[in-house]
Structure 1
Amino acid sequence: MNFEQVKLHLSAYKENNQVIDAAKYLLYSFDLEHENFAGFGLREAIPNLVLLTTEGELGEPQTVMIPPNLFDFDLNLILNVVAHEMLHVRQKSSIQTVEDKNEREFQAYYEMLFHKVFPKIPDASDFHKKIFADKAFEYYKRMGEGSTLQQKYALQKIEIEQLINALS
């Protein structure tokens, strides 16, 4: 299915106020599904902000909370944010648990930039890529200077730096 068809389907869902069905459609269309996903729930909308969260205990099925105005935003941005949360769903599964929050967030922001886990996700705008990179650097810094985690992700940090330099 091409991107324009996806937009048409989403438009129909939006017209009928079927936000959760539209989000499920994205999971299917962009190969984001995972067995640890418990479903979508609705959270309060914050004007001019796309805020999604993944809720659930580590090792337990996860619910991704989405705002009712999710599809008022740019589709590429929406897809990147949904992919971010679906990576958290995977990270919090009993099979591949990533316990450290800083590591989870760094991995998720890295994914938003490079789409290694979810290759069907389109690139976000350069503006948003810079925001994602800044967030990745923030969580990298929180891992602790010279820590084992920082060493583990040193090459990915360099990749992010190179991408940002190429965008400038």
Structure 2
Amino acid sequence: MFMRYVSILIAIGLATASQCHAQKASVHCDSKAGEMSIRYLPSVEALPSAPGVRVVDFSALVLHEPCPATGPCMITSLKKRSMSCKLSGSTFQATFTPTPGNANLAGRCGGAIAGKVEIHRNGKPYLPTTELEPGLCGASEQPAIDTILVRVGAERAQLVRQALQ
């Protein structure tokens, strides 16, 4: 009976951990303003909903085997999600990939899932693969990215980082 109770607590802990660390990103394509903005929220904060805003849930891009009552719960594959935005004759393609804290969801940082993004402009690299939260499960000299702004006519994307805490 005791082991069953412990197994239930572990399962609840795994579910809670993955929900507490379910990072998301929003993409807003504003062709009138000539910009695309990508906003990353590394906490459980809700993304504001607005017309034309699309949301990427990084935890939904992580596939894992059925989790046993005890032992490891391993990630089996990672999916990608792409979104395009047409701005003044250019097509920007943002591709999002999850970044798990640990391939074993029951291990240290296993419930933490951040993401990375790469952007192409008319099929050519515009922003190389960029970690949205470099210090997901440890110390990092760079804070998480808050916003990525892509503007028509700009040679590169503008990265706005969150303040170090």
TM-score by length of 1: 0.29
TM-score by length of 2: 0.29
Q: Which has the higher helix share?
A: 1
Structure number with the bigger relative contact order (C-alpha 8 A, sep ≥ 6) is 2
Q: Which has the higher strand share?
A: 2
